[in-house]
Amino acid sequence: MKTYYITTPAYYTSGEFHIGNAYPSLICDAMARYKRMQGFDVMFLTGTDEHGQKVQIAAQEAGLSPKQFVDGLVDNAKDLWTLLGISYDKFVRTTDDYHEKTVQAIFQILYDQGDIYKGVYEGWYCTPCESFWSDSQLDNSTCPDCKRSVARSTEENYFFRMSKYTQRLIDHIEANPDFIQPASRRNEMLNNFLKPGLEDLCVSRTAFDWGVKVPFDPAHVIYVWIDALPNYISGLGFFNEQEDNTRYWPADVHLVGKEIVRFHTLIWPATLMALGLPLPKQVYGHGWWTAEGQKMSKSFGNVVYPRMYTEKYGVDALRYFLLREIPAGQDGDFSHRRFVERYNGDLANDLGNLLSRTVAMTVKYLGGKVAGQVDPEIAEFIKEINIAYCSQMDAFNIPAAMVEVWRLIGRMNKYIDETQPWILGKDESKKDELAVVLASLCEALCVVGSRIEPFMPKTSKKIFEQIELVAFGNTSPIKFIVRPGEALFPRIDVATDMSPLGVIASVGDIVPDVPRATEDSPEITIDDFAKIDLRVAEVLVCEPVKKSDRLLRLELDMGNGERRQVVSGIAAYYQPDEVVGKRVIVVKNLKAVKLRGVESQGMILCAEEGDKVKLVEAPASIPPGGEVR
Ligand code: MSP
Contact predicate 479/500, CB 8 Å: no
229 ligand 1 Cβ < 6 A? yes
335 ligand 1 Cβ < 6 A? no
Nearest protein Cα to ligand 1, atom 11:
12
Check residue 448 and give its pLDDT: 98
Strand order of the sheet with strand 201-202? Answer: 131-133, 116-126, 151-160, 201-202
Average pLDDT over residues 104-108: 98
d(CA 585, CA 600): 15
20 ligand 1 Cβ < 6 A? yes
d(CA 117, CA 65): 32
Beta bridge partners of 157: 119
Nearest protein Cα to ligand 1, atom 14:
21
d(CA 107, CA 181): 29
Nearest protein Cα to ligand 1, atom 25:
20
Check residue 491 and give its pLDDT: 93
**pLDDT grade for 476, boundaries at 50, 70 and 90:** low
Cβ atoms within 10 A of the Cβ of 278, count? 12
**pLDDT grade for 332, boundaries at 50, 70 and 90:** very high
d(CA 271, CA 199): 14
User: Please, which residues have CB within 8 angstroms of residue 501's CB and are 6 or more apart in sequence?
Assistant: 291, 292, 301, 302, 304, 308, 336
132 ligand 1 Cβ < 6 A? no
Average pLDDT over residues 169-179: 97
pLDDT > 50? residue 322: yes
Residue, of 457 and 293, whose pLDDT is higher: 457
Contact predicate 85/28, CB 8 Å: no
256 ligand 1 Cβ < 6 A? yes
Check residue 240 and give its pLDDT: 98
Classify strands 283-286 and 90-93 as parallel, antiparallel or unpaired.
unpaired
Cβ atoms within 10 A of the Cβ of 359, count? 22
Nearest protein Cα to ligand 1, atom 6:
229
Average pLDDT over residues 40-59: 95
Chain segment 201-212, per-residue pLDDT in tens:
999 999 899 999
Q: Mapping DSSP to helix (H, G, I), strand (E, B) and coil, where does residue 346 land? A: helix
Q: What is the CA(257)–ligand 1 centre distance, in A?
A: 6
Check residue 521 and give its pLDDT: 59
CA atoms within 13 A on the CB side of 549: 12
Check residue 505 and give its pLDDT: 30
47 ligand 1 Cβ < 6 A? no
Cβ atoms within 10 A of the Cβ of 515, count? 12
Chain segment 135-164, per-residue pLDDT in tens:
888 988 999 888 899 999 888 999 999 999
Nearest protein Cα to ligand 1, atom 12:
11
**pLDDT grade for 356, boundaries at 50, 70 and 90:** very high
DSSP letter at 148 equals -
Check residue 238 and give its pLDDT: 98
**pLDDT grade for 474, boundaries at 50, 70 and 90:** low
Q: Which atom of ligand 1 is nearest to the CA of 260?
A: 31
Nearest protein Cα to ligand 1, atom 19:
257
372 ligand 1 Cβ < 6 A? no
- Greatest Cα pair distance in the chain: 91
Q: Which atom of ligand 1 is nearest to the CA of 9?
A: 5
pLDDT > 70? residue 463: yes
10 ligand 1 Cβ < 6 A? yes
Least confident of 33-42, 395-404, 544-553: 544-553
**pLDDT grade for 509, boundaries at 50, 70 and 90:** very low
For all residues of the chain together, what is the average pLDDT? 91
228 ligand 1 Cβ < 6 A? yes
Query: So what's the architecture of 526-628 in CATH?
Result: Beta Barrel (2.40)
How far is C-alpha 219 from the chain's CA centre?
42
Check residue 551 and give its pLDDT: 86
DSSP letter at 378 equals H
Q: Is 68 exposed, middle or buried (0-12, 13-18, 19+ CB in 10 A)?
A: exposed
Q: Which of 17, 19, 21 to mutate for ligand 1's pocket (most ligand atoms within 8 Å of CB)?
A: 21
Q: Which atom of ligand 1 is nearest to the CA of 231?
A: 6
Q: Which of 6, 23, 225 to mutate for ligand 1's pocket (most ligand atoms within 8 Å of CB)?
A: 23
602 ligand 1 Cβ < 6 A? no
Check residue 233 and give its pLDDT: 98
Fold of 334-482: Isoleucyl-tRNA Synthetase; Domain 1 (1.10.730)
pLDDT > 90? residue 597: no
260 ligand 1 Cβ < 6 A? yes
263 ligand 1 Cβ < 6 A? no
Q: What is the CA(31)–ligand 1 centre distance, in A?
A: 18
**pLDDT grade for 518, boundaries at 50, 70 and 90:** very low
Cβ atoms within 10 A of the Cβ of 538, count? 20
Q: Which atom of ligand 1 is nearest to the CA of 259?
A: 19
Domain boundaries, the chain: 334-482, 526-628
pLDDT > 60? residue 273: yes
Q: What is the CA(588)–ligand 1 centre distance, in A?
A: 47
Check residue 507 and give its pLDDT: 32
Check residue 515 and give its pLDDT: 45
Nearest protein Cα to ligand 1, atom 24:
20
d(CA 511, CA 88): 38
257 ligand 1 Cβ < 6 A? yes
pLDDT above 70 covers what percent of the chain?
96
Q: What is the CA(258)–ligand 1 centre distance, in A?
A: 9
CA atoms 240, 243, 246, 251: torsion sign: negative
User: Please, which residues have CB within 8 angstroms of residue 170's CB and are 6 or more apart in sequence?
Assistant: 190, 194, 195
Q: What is the CA(22)–ligand 1 centre distance, in A?
A: 9
55 ligand 1 Cβ < 6 A? no
Strands (E), 216-316: 217-222, 253-257, 283-286, 289-291, 294-295
Chain segment 408-447, per-residue pLDDT in tens:
999 999 999 999 999 999 999 999 999 999 999 999 999 9
Check residue 593 and give its pLDDT: 81
Average pLDDT over residues 83-100: 98
Check residue 504 and give its pLDDT: 44
Check residue 72 and give its pLDDT: 95
Check residue 472 and give its pLDDT: 60
Average pLDDT over residues 163-172: 97
Cβ atoms within 10 A of the Cβ of 49, count? 23
pTM: 0.81
Average pLDDT over residues 320-348: 94
pLDDT above 90 covers what percent of the chain?
74
User: Please, which residues have CB within 8 angstroms of residue 543's CB and are 6 or more apart in sequence?
Assistant: 552, 553, 576
**pLDDT grade for 502, boundaries at 50, 70 and 90:** low
Instruction: For the chain, state the CA radius of gyration.
Output: 29
pLDDT > 90? residue 372: no
Least confident of 267-271, 298-302, 518-522: 518-522
Classify strands 41-49 and 116-126 as parallel, antiparallel or unpaired.
unpaired
